[in-house]
Structure 1
């Protein structure tokens, strides 16, 4: 009988793993998209596949970004991200300032100074505006330490998905940033400029972050730090609730959410983010139960 060659053994093992033990084994992509029956549906895809993103966002590049406005105000006060057709993920700090049936949520925005957004001959769909039906703040939120700074906003009605509006994917299984599959992490948001900016960021280890922010804040479980990759001063005004995004297998995942920045800090000082993988179960259960 002929001996089985090495490559054939590898192929056989892959087949056995994928079919023989289906209750416990999942390939990463399948797990990310199917472990939740309410999250990661129609999520994370755009026409832009390159991992190096320009400083200024392109039309329909971050179609999950949402902006919150006070009544009769023309400048947003916070960000959020669409995670289902009717749920927006944001911070508890932002949610505390939202008034049910009054605060306006805008999705599908790009250029704040134009009525219809176009690049060349390509034009986006009109923005969609929604009211807030319900605010759900994490039960463990502490407004002094910013611990559990996470909340969910339920829209008064579902949004219509398109190339301009779609949910972002969430990491149902945590993957490590910095490996060959996801080298670049970006914080996308509107600042004082008319189009969204895409800041190239990098993680800062928690112990290092504690030294850099000093006595100004005590970092807790569920918080992580990131700063400008080039240690530049970046503008984050009104950016709370915006996404720290990473490309993974041609989909964009939100791995963290901007929580707070240290006022009057030096260039390169880290920003504090909510570590999304630590809250995925809370997010899933909140959507499922409401």
Structure 2
């Protein structure tokens, strides 16, 4: 008997991104093609008498709010067994008109399996669920960017003080390059996070920007110490403020402790003669 397996993909393609799609028939990888209208995945095969076929499809989705599989309401259904394994959260819900799962098996707080098991149905019914909501990393990035201007001002003032102490006045294009590196962190993070784990993207973005600024300032002032100072400034004015956004329950505490550390550093530096000279020269420039 010839058999056709149809997997509808009725999605808003501008909002939903599916990736790492895998299709299995009886646990064996199989090729499944996209229809001409790009609205369904279609597999065709042959079913021998008394043979059972088990279809399995896996994918990752971004922007996918719910998953509902619609069975033909005009045809009876025999031996329906539909299993949905959800990763990324357990706060699922059922979409309107969907029959609830007959069995629910939570694995941990971020993984749950739901099973629809019916021996006989008079007509096809929709099965599926509203997918768990994950932390909105795009909102985190937007918050980081919105607060970044204050951190940038402090970072740039510190860089100016550092270069004056190193006996160099920054040219306009050098100012621009340093500013561009600092701001590029947020752009790089947003694009990397769209294609990989957010925390990995965050670490790589921070590492890339830190390396650029470290080697540039080190070469600019011909001083390895200046490079290490830049890394400290990145920790103070980029790493800690952005971590405060990620660790939302501790944001105020992190900011307060950072301000306390900065005040302590300023009090200590204000007693040093070189810092007093640098500040006098800086105010003279202003």
TM-score normalised by L of structure 2: 0.22
Give the structure, 1 or 2, with the largest relative contact order (CA under 8 Å, sep 6 or more): 1
Higher Rg = 2
| Richer in helix (by share) | 2
TM-score scaled by length of structure 1: 0.22
